[in-house]
Amino acid sequence: MMMPLVSVVIPTYNHARYVVQAVKSVLNQTYPNIEIIVVDDGSTDNTAEVFRPYSAIIQYIYKRNGGTSSALNCGIKQATGKYVCWLSADDMFIPEKTAKQVFQMESDAALGFSYTSFTIVDALGKPGDEIHSFYYESKHDMVMKLMEGCFINGSSVMMRKSALEKTGGFDETLPTAHDYDMWLRLLRNYPCGFLDEQLLNYRWHGENMSLYGVDCGDIVKSRAKDLFPEWL
C-alpha cells in the first residue's frame, strides 16, 4: 500500500502542560509519513518554550487568539498531506491510529472522512470509560442520529484534504460546535468511515473547551435542515 502523507494539526491555547504529550503521541505513531503542525492560538503560558526542543521536527505557528476554528483553518492551510487529522492539545493518539485510518481511507476513495471510538482519560492520563461511538452505514441514519447531538470526537477524525477543500474550512463564526457543523457539511457530499476501536485517549480534566461558552448546537441543527432538505 502507498503511504500518503498525513498532516496532523494540533491547535493549542494555554495547554503547555498537556500539548507535548499530544505531540509525542503523534511521534509514536507506527505510520511513518506524518507532518505535525502545531498552531499556538495566542497562548500566554510557556507553550512556545516547551516546543523549542521539537523545532526541527514539527512546524510551530504562533497566531493571535481567534478560537479553535481559526487555529484549525490556519493549520489546514499549511498542511501538505493527502489526509488531515485534528488532535486537540490535551488528547493523545494510540500508536496504531494513523496507520489504521489511512488503510481504511485508501481502501475506499469515496470516503470524505473517518472517525473512531475512544477512551476517556483523566488529567493525569489514567484511563476510564471506553466509549463506542455511534455509526450507521446509511447516510440518512447518520444524519438523523446527528440531529440528536454530535457523537463524533474531533480528535478521532481523519479527513481527506480534497474533501475539506471542496467543503470549506471550519466556521470561525461558531465559538462552539464548529466540529459538529463540519461533520454535517462533509456528509452532504461524502460518506464517512468508522473504526470501532479505542484509537484515541480523550482527556477529561474539567477545563475542556466544550464546557464553556455559547452552545451553538441549535444553530448547526438549523443549518442541517438546509443541507438535507430531503430528510429534515
pLDDT level of residue 215 (50, 70, 90 thresholds):
confident
Q: Does the structure show a pLDDT above 70 at 207?
A: no
User: What's the average model confidence in pLDDT over 45-59?
Assistant: 96
Q: Does the structure show a pLDDT above 70 at 1?
A: no
Options 3.30.70.1250, 3.90.550.10, 3.40.50.720, 3.90.1280.10; which CATH number does 6-227 get? Answer: 3.90.550.10
Q: Specify the pTM.
A: 0.95
CA distances 111 to 105, 163, 170, 195, Å, are: 6, 9, 19, 13
DSSP one-letter string for 206-220: S--GGGSS---HHHH
Distance CA 35, CA 65 (A): 23
Burial 42-52 (b: 16+ CB within 10 A, else e): bbeeebeeebe
Percentage of residues in the chain with pLDDT exceeding 90? 92
* Domain coordinates in residue numbering, the chain: 6-227
pLDDT level of residue 2 (50, 70, 90 thresholds):
confident
- Asked if residues 201 and 118 have their Cβ atoms less than 8 Å apart, the reply is yes
Q: Does the structure show a pLDDT above 60 at 212?
A: no
Q: Does the structure show a pLDDT above 80 at 82?
A: yes
Give residue 6's pLDDT: 98
> What is the C-alpha radius of gyration for the chain, rounded to an integer number of angstroms?
17
Give residue 211's pLDDT: 46
Locate the DSSP E strands across the chain.
Answer: 6-12, 34-41, 59-63, 83-86, 92-93, 113-121, 127-131, 158-160, 192-203
Give residue 117's pLDDT: 98
Q: What is the mean pLDDT of the chain?
A: 95
